[in-house]
Amino acid sequence: MRDDREDVYSKAVRAGKRTYFFDVKSTRGRDLFLTITESKKHTHEDGTAHYDKHKIFLYKEDFEKFIDGLQDAVDEIERLRATGDYGNGAEHAQRESDADAPPFTDVNFEDLDRKDI
């Protein structure tokens, strides 16, 4: 099956041994989505290199919630750094989140490389 998705915009952010790629893509239906890829370079003893890559797909209906969650996490990091209060942070965050929400999401990663979805 042919991949009709188009790359619309790409931004690379270099940060030490890591590079983050923010890629805006268009679906076959002309809808837009974002992929965020973390690429980390590893050098072998013989001088050759390989890259570990991790990718997330972010769809328009999730943009606002994603940005809100990211901003909340960054704000909490800044608060913790300012106060030095690092104890029981995960328990504190879980109590503040939705009480009925599970602590993790069951994700099927087998679909990530599929071109037909």
pLDDT tens digit string along 37-56?
Answer: 999 988 889 999 899 999 99
**Residue 24 forms part of a structural domain:** yes
Residue 80 belongs to a domain: yes
Beta bridge partners of 68: none
The reply to whether 106 falls in a domain is yes
Q: Which residues of 52-83 are buried (b: 16+ CB within 10 A; e: fewer)?
A: eeeeeeeeeeeeeeeeeeeeeeeeeeeeeeee
**Which of 9-13, 30-34, 61-65, 94-98 shows the lowest mean pLDDT across its residues?**
94-98
103 located within any domain = yes
Task: Note the pLDDT tens digit of each residue in 93-103.
Answer: 554 555 555 55
Q: Is the residue at 44 inside a domain?
A: yes
In this structure, what is the dihedral angle of CA atoms 76, 77, 81, 82, given to the nearest 10 degrees? -40
**Residue 117 within any structural domain of the chain:** no
Domain count, the chain: 1
Structure confidence at residue 2 (pLDDT) = 46
Query: 62: domain range?
Result: 6-111
Please determine, for residue 35, whether its predicted confidence score (pLDDT) is greater than 50: yes
